[in-house]
Structure 1
Amino acid sequence: MSLTPAFLDELRARTSLSALIGKTTKLTKAGREHKGCCPFHNEKTPSFYVNDDKGFYHCFGCSAHGDAIRWMTDQRGLPFIDAVKELVQAAGMEMPAQDKRSAERAERAQSLHDVMAAAAEWFEQQLDGLEGAPARDLLQRRGISDATRRNFGFGYAPDARGKLRAALKQFGDPMLIEAGLLISVEGKDPYDRFRGRLMIPIRDQRGRVIAFGGRIIGDGEPKYLNSPDTPLFDKGRTLYNLDRAAPAARKADRVFVVEGYMDAIALAQAGLGETVAPLGTALTEHQLERLWRMVDVPTLCFDGDNAGQKAAIRAAHRALPMLAPGRSLSFVTLPEGQDPDDLVRAKGAAAFEACVREAVPLVDRLWAHELAAEPMTTPEQRAGFRARMGELAKTILDPVVRSEYQAEFRRRYDEQFAPAPRRFEPRAPFVPRRPGQKWTPPPLPVTEDAKALRATGIDRVLAKAVLAGLIRHPAEIARHMEVLGSLRLADGALGRLFEAVVDVALEDRALDSARLVTILTNSGFEAVARDLLRADTMAYSFTQPTGDATRARDDLDEAIAILVTQPEVNAALADATSAMQARFTEEAFERQVALVREKQALELRLANLVQSNEDARAFDSEDD
């Protein structure tokens, strides 16, 4: 079968779009168009327009847009081919001829649909009969109302090996076996698959019964029994209640994923119809894709027990490679030992909604799980944790999302484990100790000569890095204006560039990096600025063109503190060394030792800035 563009254009031309949409959405005439409240999002003022002449609908509120076929796939949730078939039938057209094999498959599928519809009707009749009393009692104990029971098509399979087979004998054993209703045993007669169970029909997107789930009435295993995979039913591609949940999800802009049928039914009965459930297996890639076709961020509401939380993590890991900008998952943690069914029966929909308000995004769920996986008391354990988070981020195929996860994991790791930066605190003026008085650390120089050392004795390599950081983050200049002003006396091109950067920033406090570079270029500093901004020449976070902005600002603060303090410590150490060489005293010796330690501490702080940046880049070095 070939659906040519000409055939599809003819189908659209023969379809009255306003009549099609008007079946489920109230429209009023507005000139040559029709308008109404958008069915894709909640609104009070109509912003949804349908144009029959042009054959499309458009919402000016949420930007929903499409033709008749798109309406059937997006609003009704139908697969493309099913949408076309319905429109073709309504328009009185004929589908293009199928090849022989396709025609045979379609005919067999149609026959199987007939079988499943007949089985569902027969199961419902048994639930209403005498033998169905235990199943009706179970529904009553579970709080299922008669209206919900009818709406979801509950039934009952008698505890017998051949009653269904006899009731549907007109279809023949081969078809009943193919539909998954009978079990075939070599050398023996086939027998009913479902016996002594409450029957729950499983429907496709069009609302047709394609399989069954059977719950045992009393004790026994398995508690739930699903139909096997058949030409109609693929367990890994099907979501229970999708036919009802899809329209509700698009309207509410959310969809809940729960573990089982009864959870989905209980939430629907409580007014939360936008709920689906996988069928006894972990969420598959196909099921995740179906969910993302409805909303960008489905919400997983698995049970609060250990098994439920493991299922949530499996779903999180499976979703990672498929993430895209704006497309993710969120997670609701239910009270321990409770499932959604328990919660809404005991406390109502409000209790469930309260849990939903506490939902956490995928990144939080992954971080919390890995952080709690083992103790983090040793360097080896922390290194293992960091490696695991890095490997998780690398599984994301979309490069933009992968980069964001790597940056987020780095930031969280630093906040969790990195020691707070050690800031330099000026010492109190030195006072020679009196006899018996405990010695205190010596003062740093406060004379004009000592202040001049900030200009003449600064570490020029570090000064270049700080200047590059200020050019990349010009908003930080105002925060450090006082100390930067004292660095203006530096000679040569570096000093002149310092002065130019500070002057430009003083004139425009809202300056960004690109404009600052432009101004410096126009002022004759193009070569030196270009050399400073080469990311591969400096190993600091604040000199890099990309990265965590908060981390870069913190590291720049630390670098400026070291830059300003180093000359003072060096001058004080030189003075203490000269004094001790001239005349050895205990005070002079202690002062020299203290200043040596202070200098070593500054060198360690500077080394930590480089190391922390290398650690951050290690998260994604393989990916780069």
Structure 2
Amino acid sequence: MSGKIPKYFINELLSRTNIVELINKRLILKKCGKNYQTKCPFHHEKTPSFTVSHEKQFFYCFGCNAHGNAIDFLINYENLSFVESIEELSIIHGMKIPFENTKYNYLYIKKQKLYLLMKQLCNLYQENIKFTDIANKYLSHRGINKKMVDVFLIGFSSLNWNDFYKKLNVSKELEKELLIYNIISISKKGCKYDPFQGRIIFPIQDQHGRIIAFGGRSINHILPKYLNSQETDIFCKRKLIYGLYQVKKKFSKPKYLLVVEGYIDVITLTQYNINYVVSSLGTSTTVEHIQILFQNTDTVIYCYDGDNAGKDAAWRTLKKALPYISDEKTLKFILLPKNEDPDITIRKEGKEKFQTRIDNAIAMSKFFFKYILRNINLSSIDDKFYLSVRALPLINTISSDTIRIYLRQVLARMIGILDDNQFEKFLYEQENKRKQKPQFHIKRTPMRILIALLMQNPNLAVIAPPVKKLNQIKIKGLNIFLEILQICLDNPDINTGQLLEFYRNTKISNILKILSRWDHMIVQEEIQNMFLDLLMNIYDKILEERQEYLIAQERIKGLTINEKKEIWSINKKLSKNNKKI
């Protein structure tokens, strides 16, 4: 990212970020000695190997080798780009990014302007609903109360843009910006109009509560019944969960998330105190949706219509979710009566019965076999073979050994293999293909140990002897060490996470990350002595090289008085150092 975001800004951002707090808002960390631990979010494991260091502002996993600073965590955990992760941290700390690159600065300013425009338009819609009878009658008819209107910022867009324009005093400047960003349009006749005109407006908020788009529901039979904003630089449908902001405001770590299809369903269930309700904006569930849901809870419950279309939709969701299911992450399903949605069902049967549906949601394994056995005759050998061929590849996408083996054993009994060991033996070759890639190891050398000690303990820089002459010797890695040492001296309070950020996207970035979590097998009390000893060995090499040069010169043409004094001084220093050893 060189030339785009200044390093001083990233360093300041990281200095304000507590990586333990950042990760603890997303995962449940437990104190373990001076560090914190949890099960790794980047691979399936039975015992915690994911460690977070407050001192180093650095995380690492002993199981899959995932590691890095706060920026790396956001990139990997929330599937953000580097710039998006910087934006996320800058929002948390209320800082404005001073982009150096004109292109990125323009995009950043454009996004900030879009956020502002969306907020202004949301305010207009909210104001408009106050004096629009047709909108209030519709909401009253649907049973949505004033509290929900306020919680979800519900509004209304006038049928006529000119009326909207006059009543709400839209400035010429605002109208111009709305046109530039295609938030309002111009008809073939040259008339300006809002694509949502005549619709109830449901503002869509991101995880910070910023308005990023709108959904509109027709109330006068204009098709389509529901309409969403076009995607922009701040709105991507496949990455957005409606209602999640409202849930997270109440519960930082919800015990489950109930996923329904529409805006009204979310609002009505929330009004009935059915908590944890969200929606994927009426679109098909994406992998990104599933990842976001499991990042926020351990149990995701999908609610569908009980007809064939609803069951098929549930099956498509299940297939996409299988790779993300684990011993901790559970998927369940609710199938409502045919031709009913959650809004209709809860009004008909009340909160308690609907809550019972949630409590008795169909487990993933039960739904898996119930659906896949449709039209299968288990008395037919051909059907058994077809079932095995269809089910096994799906089951094998599950990362959890426990769940995967259980489902395979259930399948084995269905197709008539009663000996579990026989079935596991049959699958042995397939299982071997799941082996992880071999880990990358680097050779242990004195210079790498020295760099590792400094990367893990930047405060060692202050005890290093003067380094003026060190660059005169050719030792592999010495220049890198001197550069890191200077960074530490220039930034006295720097930590490991910040130090790594100086080398992002450089050729040595990966090896420095490895050295930052390297077990150098030196007890904490001896780290300072080992650091100084390694440095003194380098100084000795400088003296030895100079000594060899002077001896060679003496043989060729003799030495001056000053050179003789120098070689005497070098011999004395080397002798002194050898005695220490």
- The alignment's TM-score, normalised by the length of structure 1, stands at 0.54
Residue in 2 that maps onto 1:86: 91
Q: Distance in 1 between matches of 2:55 and 2:70?
A: 12
SS of residue matched to 1:287: helix
CA shift at 1:216, angstroms? 1.2
The 3 A distance-change label for structure 1 pair 174 and 408 is: farther
Residue in 2 that maps onto 1:199: 201
User: Are the equivalent residues in 1 in contact too, given 2:126–2:153 (CA < 8 A)?
Assistant: yes
AA partner of residue 89 (structure 1): G
**Per-residue deviation, residues 358-383 of structure 1 (Å, max 9, x unmatched):** 12332322211111245545332332
CA shift at 1:114, angstroms? 2.0
CA shift at 1:17, angstroms? 11
The 3 A distance-change label for structure 1 pair 387 and 73 is: closer
AA partner of residue 86 (structure 2): I
Q: Distance in 1 between matches of 2:11 and 2:327?
A: 33
User: Are the equivalent residues in 1 in contact too, given 2:256–2:276 (CA < 8 A)?
Assistant: yes
User: Identity percentage over the alignment?
Assistant: 26
User: Are the equivalent residues in 2 in contact too, given 1:163–1:192 (CA < 8 A)?
Assistant: no
SS of residue matched to 2:201: strand
Q: 1:134 and 2:134 equivalent?
A: yes
Q: Distance in 1 between matches of 2:349 and 2:72?
A: 40
Residue in 2 that maps onto 1:564: none
Residue in 1 that maps onto 2:373: 371
Residue in 2 that maps onto 1:117: 119
Residue in 2 that maps onto 1:233: 235
AA partner of residue 400 (structure 2): V
Counterpart of 1:345 (choices 323, 342, 347) is 347
CA shift at 1:294, angstroms? 0.5
Residue in 1 that maps onto 2:220: 218
CA shift at 1:81, angstroms? 3.1
AA partner of residue 120 (structure 1): C
Q: Distance in 1 between matches of 2:386 and 2:19?
A: 58
Residue in 2 that maps onto 1:361: 363
Higher RCO, 1 vs 2 (CA within 8 Å, ≥6 residues apart) = 2
Q: Distance in 2 between matches of 1:18 and 1:393?
A: 35
**Per-residue deviation, residues 189-240 of structure 1 (Å, max 9, x unmatched):** 4422112211111111111111111111133421111111122211111111
Counterpart of 2:262 (choices 251, 255, 260) is 260
User: Are the equivalent residues in 1 in contact too, given 2:205–2:212 (CA < 8 A)?
Assistant: yes
SS of residue matched to 2:212: strand
User: Are the equivalent residues in 1 in contact too, given 2:247–2:254 (CA < 8 A)?
Assistant: no
Residue in 2 that maps onto 1:157: 157
The 3 A distance-change label for structure 1 pair 146 and 374 is: same
The 3 A distance-change label for structure 1 pair 384 and 618 is: farther
SS of residue matched to 2:159: coil
SS of residue matched to 1:389: helix
Residue in 2 that maps onto 1:401: 400
CA shift at 1:182, angstroms? 2.0
SS of residue matched to 2:306: coil
CA shift at 1:307, angstroms? 3.0
Q: Which has the larger radius of gyration?
A: 1
The 3 A distance-change label for structure 1 pair 178 and 249 is: farther
Q: Distance in 1 between matches of 2:139 and 2:311?
A: 27
AA partner of residue 409 (structure 2): R
Q: Distance in 2 between matches of 1:83 and 1:623?
A: 35
The 3 A distance-change label for structure 1 pair 77 and 150 is: farther
The 3 A distance-change label for structure 1 pair 72 and 125 is: farther
Residue in 2 that maps onto 1:106: 108
The 3 A distance-change label for structure 1 pair 329 and 19 is: closer
CA shift at 1:162, angstroms? 4.5
CA shift at 1:135, angstroms? 1.5
User: Are the equivalent residues in 2 in contact too, given 1:259–1:303 (CA < 8 A)?
Assistant: no
1:382-531 superposed matches below 5 A: 382-394=384-396, 396=397, 400-401=399-400, 404-405=403-404, 407-418=405-416
CA shift at 1:390, angstroms? 1.8
Q: 1:276 and 2:274 equivalent?
A: no
1:54-69 superposed matches below 5 A: none
Q: Distance in 2 between matches of 1:255 and 1:391?
A: 28
Residue in 2 that maps onto 1:175: 177
CA shift at 1:283, angstroms? 0.9
AA partner of residue 146 (structure 2): D
The 3 A distance-change label for structure 1 pair 378 and 284 is: same
AA partner of residue 408 (structure 1): Y
The 3 A distance-change label for structure 1 pair 366 and 177 is: farther
User: Are the equivalent residues in 1 in contact too, given 2:327–2:400 (CA < 8 A)?
Assistant: yes
CA shift at 1:620, angstroms? 7.2
Q: Distance in 1 between matches of 2:350 and 2:245?
A: 24
Residue in 2 that maps onto 1:445: none
SS of residue matched to 2:214: strand
SS of residue matched to 1:299: strand
Q: Distance in 2 between matches of 1:393 and 1:71?
A: 29
CA shift at 1:177, angstroms? 3.8
The 3 A distance-change label for structure 1 pair 83 and 617 is: closer
Q: Distance in 2 between matches of 1:273 and 1:205?
A: 17
Q: Distance in 2 between matches of 1:323 and 1:86?
A: 31
The 3 A distance-change label for structure 1 pair 410 and 72 is: closer
Q: Distance in 2 between matches of 1:351 and 1:72?
A: 40
Q: Distance in 2 between matches of 1:620 and 1:19?
A: 38
User: Are the equivalent residues in 2 in contact too, given 1:258–1:301 (CA < 8 A)?
Assistant: yes
User: Are the equivalent residues in 2 in contact too, given 1:250–1:295 (CA < 8 A)?
Assistant: no
SS of residue matched to 1:202: strand
The 3 A distance-change label for structure 1 pair 417 and 156 is: same
1:302-317 superposed matches below 5 A: 302-317=304-319
**Per-residue deviation, residues 169-200 of structure 1 (Å, max 9, x unmatched):** 52466632454432345674442211221111
- The alignment's TM-score, normalised by the length of structure 2, stands at 0.57
Q: Distance in 2 between matches of 1:4 and 1:386?
A: 56
SS of residue matched to 2:314: helix
User: Are the equivalent residues in 2 in contact too, given 1:344–1:352 (CA < 8 A)?
Assistant: yes
AA partner of residue 328 (structure 2): G
**Per-residue deviation, residues 388-447 of structure 1 (Å, max 9, x unmatched):** 1123224x1x6x437853x3344223444539x8xxxxxxxxxxxxxxxxxxxxxxxxxx
Q: Distance in 1 between matches of 2:185 and 2:208?
A: 27
Q: Distance in 1 between matches of 2:54 and 2:391?
A: 53
